[in-house]
Amino acid sequence: MVTIDLSGQDGNAFALMGHAKNFAKQMGLDGDEIVYEMQQGDYDDLVDVFKRYFDGVVEVIDGKEDEWE
C-alpha cells in the first residue's frame, strides 16, 4: 500500500491529481474523468474524491494525526 502524506509535497493538489492519473491508469480507470471530478470543488473535495477512488490502494495521512479522515 502506498502512503501519501498531505502535509508533504505529495499533498499538493497538482501532485494528487498526478497520482490519481497514474493510479487510474494502473487500475484501468479513466484518469481524466477522475481528475475532472477532483477539480469541481475545493481542496477538501479534491481529497475526498481521491480517497473515494483509491481507498484500499493508498493510505492518506496528514502527518499531524495517525490517519486523515
Give the confidence band of 64 by pLDDT, cuts at 50, 70, 90: low
Average pLDDT, the chain: 92
Question: pLDDT tens digits, residue range 31-60?
Answer: 999 999 999 999 999 999 999 999 999 999
Locate the DSSP E strands across 1-69. Answer: 2-5, 58-61
Q: Are 24 and 31 in contact (CB under 8 A)?
A: yes
Q: What is the pLDDT of residue 67?
A: 47
- How many other CB atoms are found less than 10 A from the CB of residue 24? 18
Biggest CA–CA distance in the chain, Å, is: 33
Q: Give the separation between CA 3 and CA 40, rounded to whole angstroms.
A: 24
For the chain, the domains span 2-61
Mean pLDDT, residues 8-25 taken together: 96
Query: What one-character DSSP code corresponds to residue 10?
Result: G
pLDDT > 90 in the chain, percent: 87
pTM: 0.86
